[in-house]
Structure 1
Amino acid sequence: MTDPSAYPVQLVQPDGRRVLDREHAALVADVGPERLRQMYEDMVLARRIDTEATALQRQGQLGLWPPLLGQEAAQVGSAHALNPDDYVFCSYREAAVAYCRGVDPAAITRMWRGVAHFCWEPDTINMTNPAIVVGAQGLHATGYAYAAHLDGAEIAVVAYFGDGATSQGDIAEALGFAASWSAPVVFFCQNNHWAISEPVQVQSATPIARRAYGYGMPGVRVDGNDALGVLAVTRQAVARARAGGGPSFIEAITYRMGPHTTADDPTRYRTAAELELWRRRDPIDRMRRLLEREGYWDGEFEQRVGDHADAVGELVRAATIGMSDPEPAALFDHVYATPHPLVDEQRRQYTAYLEGVRS
């Protein structure tokens, strides 16, 4: 029996040629030219949002930003496999998933500007806000999925995290609980090769997907820069979850072409040659080459996507700069779901302090 974690699933090569893989190609046999073009457009728009947010941070308009440059296929491909009633628990890097789930691009930078506790209302798109505590979302996803399973809901829950998070106890605990409870969770690891400044070889001496076997769940590796391949394996995993088959683990092998966050300098720990190697595997270029090879590319489509990207970029910039500062006492809003006397007292003391300072 072939070990599914030994070689990454790939349906499209970097030059745009299809790969003969009947098993996984069958999972995306319904994906025609319009869906391929939509996936390409979503990746382009996600990159433009990311580029604009990075520039805004460099210009002092955001406190911090975690770039997703190079990981567009992993995020867009997996997001296209989800239904509206599926639930997503993200890390801090899944802006492309959020966009595909329907988040207004004008809201994506709200939390990063420091004017709100959140970017979007989770229940409007069934996706949590960025999780800053590394790996914590794995436990949140497992608990939510188990409750949904008990309620008889035929949904899938997806937990996104990076290769570095697999060294956190929260992810290990989430995998154990999910397997024991048959929770309908898809653990989606974006292996972007670097946990801040530590290479993935330090995180794991074996393919990360193989860890799934120790917990009693299937694990698969996929070329994370191949959006079609990612769509195929994610469809397979979410179908298993919705059918009551329990959790699955996906390791999407991709590359973070930018810094870990805008507070990071990747030139201190990786080489220009390594970066250039992965630039030649750019996920957006790969999808474009596929469209060109199969006759789905034309100048009109290119212009429309470019115009749309420009409009979204302008929207993100204008919305970010135009965000109003909240009242200082708003810091105490939403700490708990219901009023709490200690929080009320802290609010009273802080308000009195501000009044003293202003006077």
Structure 2
Amino acid sequence: MELYVDLGAHSYSIYIENNILKDTGSYIEKVYSGKKIMIISDDNVFPLYGDTIVKTLEDEYEVHSLILPHGEPTKSFQSLPKIYSALLEARFSRSDLIIALGGGVIGDLAGFAAASFLRGIKFIQIPTSLLAQVDSSVGGKVAVDLPEGKNLVGAFYQPALVLIDPLVLNTLPERYINDGMGEVIKYGCIWDADLFKNLEAHTSFEDLKKDLTEVIYRCVDIKRIVVEHDQFDTGERMLLNFGHTLAHTIEQHYHYTRESHGEAVAIGMYQITKIAEEMGLTKPGEAEHIRKVLDIYGLPHKCDLMLHDLIGAIALDKKNLGGKLNVVLLKEIGKSYTYPTTTEFFTEHDRMV
């Protein structure tokens, strides 16, 4: 399966295919004519897939690798000098290539390094987590975290290519599958009621597996459509942040050590929909629909924090523009919109979430 993200000079293809990793070299040849490649990965992923990818490249390219610790704390400024030093030591130039091999942390971090090293060198995404496959590897958002909040320093920098192999998900622990399902459910909520109904009709992720490639394709296709309409996140693309205003603050509150991103998104989607229903901004009963689907895929719907404990980080949210906070809400499942408000949206409904 191929999808094409049409962004003029920054257009690229996304390929979704079982066992695509063994053909990495032939796909890279289509978009890259240089000589050096740096694979940036983590200590969980590279031992599983690094050799497969290196073997497809080593006859044609000078291949280097940099292996970083896994986990959200790696997505910080402290990791960037390690990447820049490795690139400089290997004498990389602006005509060379970075491969981001890993989940969302590696994709965001390696992408930001590519965007900033020598003012930009080409990179490709090979996402190995469900969350990265359906969401973060597509669309060109690259970033690092600050202690004050998530993704507060970053850039819009599109990859030259995205290669998605659904079979790599077979090696993921259950929690990381659940994590990715948080973003999958988001796409059904904001855009595609039929996708939501399909997720609702299954009994577990194992039951969903037979349809997984099609589900990944649909999520990526939705993101492609949104990114083509709003590359720089000033309008329609904000819809992709449904649940994220709360999610990022929950993650940051626990210093990225308790809820995963997808778990926090799940909590955010449910809790914000509850508030919106109470305000008459969302069709009644939709929060309960969301909760039932979260239960199917082993995702939480609460974190036992008071909203007032999260307000500081919400005030720093990137969707807080000119003193106005753009919160993404549902009219109903499959139909979303941005609601201009302030942090009072949360303080006026202070509660345990």
TM-score where L is the length of structure 2: 0.26
Taking CA–CA contacts closer than 8 Å with sequence separation of 6 or more, which of the two structures ends up with the larger relative contact order? 1
Structure with higher Rg: it is 1
Calculate the TM-score normalised by the size of structure 1.
0.26
Q: Relative to total residues, which structure has the larger strand share, 1 or 2?
A: 2
